[in-house]
Amino acid sequence: MAEDPSVTNFRNYIRIRTVHPDPDYDACTKFLKRQAEELGAQFQKIECVPGKPVVLMTLPGQDPSLKSVLLNSHTDVVPVFPEHWKYEPFSAHKDEKGDIYGRGTQDMKCVGIQYLEALKRLRRDGATFLRNIHLTFVPEEEVGGAEGMGMFINTPEFKKMNVGFGLDEGYANPTEKFSVFYGQRNPRAILIRCKGQPGHGSQFIPNNAGEKLHKVINSFMEFREKEKERLENDKGLRLGDVTTVNLTMLKGGVQENVIPAELSVGFDVRLAPSITDKEFEAMVKLWCEKAGDDVSYEFTRKAVPQVVTCIEDGKNPWWDAFSSACKKEKLDIDTEIFPASTDSKYIRMLGIPALGFSPINNTPILLHDNNEFLNEKIFLRGIEIYATIIPALANLKP
């Protein structure tokens, strides 16, 4: 049986090794340029950082003065551990069940191709759009997005796009439902340095760095446990509704029998919308003060303002258009806060409403995991879904 051309296109995209730490953005850009030509879209390559291109495709609408629709996806993917994969991670191997294996099959090359294939289908059917449609394929999302979408939103090219609403990635849902994300947690990385009296490992040296480090870790872990219990005890909460804290780095020491003059600990923190950045920093400051003198903290990941998109019926026309299209496709959707981080944070911080949505259900969540895969039937169904959602947004009347 012949393979659907959309699936072939998807598999070819997976085979492009845009994997960190050395993504092949050049091959990816050439591939996307061919896609733009096939779609009949305007094509631009914008490099905010040399060698890290943002690809912009535009389909002009009948009234370009109206706010446009942005369909965003990222081109980069996270590293792999090939020895733990069933098949080579960039082979896009398809098994007898139609499961396509490869890094990026869920996160998020599927969505980029689904946008393109849905629009190709709509254009073949003679569809027209009231508003401009922009597709952005951005780099560096998997390392925070600062040199991708984070810089692109400050360019003249982005301002000319006149974006009114954005779609970005979500993730798979293992049930019949589809997940839709209207906000996300604020990722913070913290490094805490504890300085103290050095000495011989055989002594009870007062005011030493290890004692202070112990107190700091206890404070963070006690907060972590409270948030974990809150999630477990309240069935109405999702992961995105609570703050996660994880110890990710430990530094220091010179020799087993020498008490060091300095020890450091790093934490990965994802702040739920219920706690502001200032409130959390005040907590960290207090924990450091309680640990003793010469305990300092540094936020090594820049804060992004937490903004959520209104999903109340009748209060946001973009949401109404999106949700109506989902109902037309008979999708059972779950709305929630995204527990990790995506480039939609940069869109929302400009005051532009955005939703995270990957049309993937009945699929285990495998982003960043070994043996990431997507079934071809689920993939093709996603194209059908976007072929309903995109016109609903692009033809939204002012």
312 is catalytic: no
**Residues 363/366/367/373 CA torsion (nearest 10 deg):** -70
Amino acid letter, residue 224: R
Q: How far apart are CA 194 and CA 260, in angstroms?
A: 10
141 is catalytic: yes
- Sign for the CA dihedral angle at 246, 252, 257, 258 comes to negative
C-beta separation of 359 from 326 below 8 A: no
Three-state SS letters, the chain: CCCCHHHHHHHHHHCCCCECCCCCHHHHHHHHHHHHHHHCCEEEEEEEECCEEEEEEEECCCCCCCCEEEEEEECCECCCCHHHCCCCCCCCCECCCCEEECCCCCCCHHHHHHHHHHHHHHHHCCCCCCCCEEEEEECCHHHCCCCCHHHHCCCHHHHHHCEEEEEECCCCECCCCEEEEEEECEEEEEEEEEECCCEECCCCCCCCHHHHHHHHHHHHHHHHHHHHHHHHHCCCCCHHHCCEEEEEEEEECCCCCEECCEEEEEEEEEECCCCCHHHHHHHHHHHHHHHCCCEEEEECCCCCCCCCCCCCCCCCHHHHHHHHHHHHCCCCEEEEEECCCCCHHHHHCCCCCEEEECCCECCCCCCCCCCCEEEHHHHHHHHHHHHHHHHHHHCCCC
Q: How far apart are CA 343 and CA 168, in angstroms?
A: 7
Which one is catalytic: 76, 99, 140, 336? 76
Which one is catalytic: 99, 107, 117, 141? 141
Residues contacting 41, CB < 8 A, separation 6+: 57, 58, 59, 119, 135
Q: In which residue are the tokens 């997940």 written?
A: 179
Could you give the residue numbers annotated as active site?
Answer: 76, 141
